[in-house]
């Protein structure tokens, strides 16, 4: 037996390996991971995955270091550090005129993705239907499937990617439990208006359907528009949960701090899942964010102008290219129409750009259950000006 590892065997043990039945058999590696990994392998400019190539504010990093040094390194409260919840409530009053109870209506989560996941698992039961507007962010469908629900896709109308209200009306029925709204929208950059929220409220009147609003890009709305939040809508608020992300607003996607906002009865159900999912979020990060929000309240308000300048720069730099563009209304993503360049599918053309041009982008097909032919690619402009210039130079040579 010397040098040989032998596995102990038990009576009745089969020689075959146990069968694993996947709960998400159709789910593979996300398009974001795939394109970023390939960009690294090929040395391409990565305008695919939505993260900045510049750092978070210096003061925020200083505050984090201070709280780590001060010993705030043990478990935070499950619902979130009180100081942070109070600052979030203060922000909502200033921006939306909405009074929130910090202890009953705000829950700090492990990024927006956990907030979405916990909300879906808390609110959706087996057999329920959940309406998603396509193209929709890729975490929605897996969460719905794990909850035992059925995702019902309602396509947005290109090129503005607006809501098809007739299709939405046809999709709503007695089994509809949840409608997921993402504004500003990833991947299209479209935004819903206050009038859209009024129409949604009218459609849901006399139903038991709830609303999950993915509002992580709330501060990135351009050209004089104002973000329309379900939290500030009198009719939708009582049936809604909204999800937000500090990673997006603080240029710190790796910090993974988000939060949900909802009435107490909905918040109570979300916390029942959240406490056994992640329980609590990194304590010193929360204290640092609370202090930064108090010290630098203008940071979030200034993001719209900051990113609009980057959007306009990217559009100007690509103006001489053969791509066509409708300026993004929000987020830090811009769609480019490649129909004048190629008749390939978006997946094929994205691969071509990556291999032959050296620029990584995101096709829209993965954001649909069954995608129609769409000649668009998504580019992230949350990059240094030099990065955008280098990428645009390559795109203009096509």
Encode pLDDT of 382-394 as tens digits.
Answer: 999 999 999 999 9
**Does the residue 9 lie in any domain?**
no
Same domain, 97 and 206: yes
Q: What number is the average pLDDT over the span 194-210? A: 97
How far apart (Å, rounded) are the C-alpha atoms in residues 398 and 393?
9
Boundary-marking domain end, from 295, 330, 348: 295
pLDDT given at position 271: 98
Task: Give the model's pLDDT for residue 212.
Answer: 98
At 11 the pLDDT is 52
Judgement on whether residues 138 and 212 belong to the same structural domain of the protein? yes
Global pTM?
0.93
pLDDT at 4 (0 to 100)? 39
Q: Do residues 96 and 244 both lie within one domain?
A: yes
Given a cut of 70, is residue 368 above it in pLDDT? Answer: yes
Q: Do 196 and 252 belong together in one domain? A: yes
Q: Identify whether residues 291 and 268 lie together within a single domain.
A: yes
Among 264, 295, 326, the domain-final residue is 295
Residues 204 and 81 in one domain: yes
Contacts of 55 (CB under 8 A, 6+ apart): 61, 251
Please, are residues 199 and 165 in contact by the beta-carbon 8 Å criterion?
A: yes
Confidence at 348, pLDDT banded by 50, 70, 90: very high
- CATH number reported for the structural domain that contains residue 138 in this entry: 3.40.640.10
164-173: long-range pairs with CB below 8 Å, 24+: 165/199, 165/203, 168/131, 168/203, 169/203, 171/131, 172/131, 172/203, 172/204, 172/207, 172/209, 173/129
Domain total of the chain = 2
Looking at the predicted structure, is the pLDDT value of residue 14 above 80?
no
| Residue 8 clears pLDDT 80, i.e. is over it | no
Distance CA 14, CA 199 (A): 60
Residues 330 and 373 in one domain: yes
| Structure confidence by residue, pLDDT tens digits, 149-171 | 999 999 999 999 999 999 999 99
Q: Is residue 7 part of a domain?
A: no
Does one domain contain both 282 and 356? no
Q: What percent of the chain has pLDDT over 70?
A: 96
The CATH number of residue 312's host domain is 3.90.1150.10
Q: How confident is the model at residue 15 (pLDDT cuts 50, 70, 90)?
A: low
Q: Is 10 a residue whose pLDDT tops 50? A: no
Residue 62 domain flag: no
Residues 162 and 182 grouped into a single domain: yes
Verify that 37 and 124 share a domain, yes or no: no
First to last CA, the chain: 65
The answer to whether residues 262 and 382 belong to one domain is: no
Residue range of the domain that includes 139: 74-295
Provide CB contacts within 8 A for 123, sequence distance 6+.
177, 178, 210, 212, 241, 266, 269, 270
Among 313, 329, 305, 327, residue whose Cα is nearest residue 385: 313
Statement: residue 333 has pLDDT above 80: yes
- Would you say residue 48 lies in a domain? yes
Q: Work out the average pLDDT over 265-273.
A: 98
Q: For 78-94, what is the mean pLDDT?
A: 97
Q: Is 317 found in the same domain as 252?
A: no
52 assigned to some structural domain: yes
Higher pLDDT, 223 or 9: 223
pLDDT mean across residues, the chain: 94
200 prior amide bond cis, ω within 30:
no
Percent of residues, the chain, with pLDDT higher than 90: 88
Final residue in a domain of this structure, among 265, 295, 325: 295
pLDDT at 315: 98
Segment among 24-33, 199-208, 244-253, 314-323 with least mean pLDDT: 24-33
């Amino acid at each position: 037996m010397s040098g040989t590892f032998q596995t102990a065997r038990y009576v009745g043990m089969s020689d075959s390996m146990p069968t694993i039945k996947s709960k998400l058999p159709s789910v593979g590696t996300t398009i974001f991971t795939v394109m970023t990994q390939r960009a690294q392998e090929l040395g391409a400019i990565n305008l695919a995955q939505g993260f900045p190539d510049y750092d978070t504010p210096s003061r925020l990093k200083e505050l984090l270091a201070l709280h780590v040094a001060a010993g705030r390194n043990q478990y935070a409260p499950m619902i979130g550090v009180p100081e942070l919840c109070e600052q979030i409530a203060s922000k909502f009053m200033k921006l939306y005129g909405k009074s929130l109870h910090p202890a009953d209506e705000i829950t700090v989560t492990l990024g927006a993705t956990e907030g979405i996941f916990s909300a879906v698992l808390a609110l959706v039961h087996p057999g329920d239907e959940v309406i998603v507007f396509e193209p929709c962010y890729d975490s929605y469908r897996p969460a719905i499937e794990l909850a035992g629900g059925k995702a019902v896709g309602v396509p947005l109308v290109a090129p503005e990617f607006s809501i098809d209200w007739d299709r939405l009306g046809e999709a709503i029925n007695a089994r509809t439990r949840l409608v997921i709204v993402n504004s500003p929208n990833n991947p299209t950059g479209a935004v819903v208006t206050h009038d859209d929220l009024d129409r949604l409220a009218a459609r849901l009147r006399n139903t038991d359907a709830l609303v999950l609003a993915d509002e992580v890009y709330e501060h990135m709305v351009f050209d004089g528009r104002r973000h329309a939040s379900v939290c500030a809508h009198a009719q939708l608020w009582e049936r809604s949960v909204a999800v937000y992300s500090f990673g997006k607003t603080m240029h710190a996607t790796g910090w993974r701090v988000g939060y949900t906002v909802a009435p107490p009865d909905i918040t109570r159900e979300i916390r029942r899942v959240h406490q056994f999912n992640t329980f609590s979020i990194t304590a010193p990060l929360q204290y640092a964010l609370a202090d930064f929000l108090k010290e630098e309240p203008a940071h979030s308000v200034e993001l719209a102008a900051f990113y609009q300048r980057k959007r306009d720069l990217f559009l100007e730099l690509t103006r001489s290219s053969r791509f066509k563009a409708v300026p993004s209304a929000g987020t830090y993503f811009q769609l480019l129409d490649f129909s004048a360049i190629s008749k390939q599918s978006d997946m094929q053309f994205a691969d071509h750009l990556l291999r032959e041009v050296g620029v990584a982008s995101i096709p829209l097909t993965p954001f649909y259950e069954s995608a129609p032919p769409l000649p668009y690619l998504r580019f992230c402009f949350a990059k240094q000006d030099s990065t955008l210039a280098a990428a645009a130079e390559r795109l203009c040579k096509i």
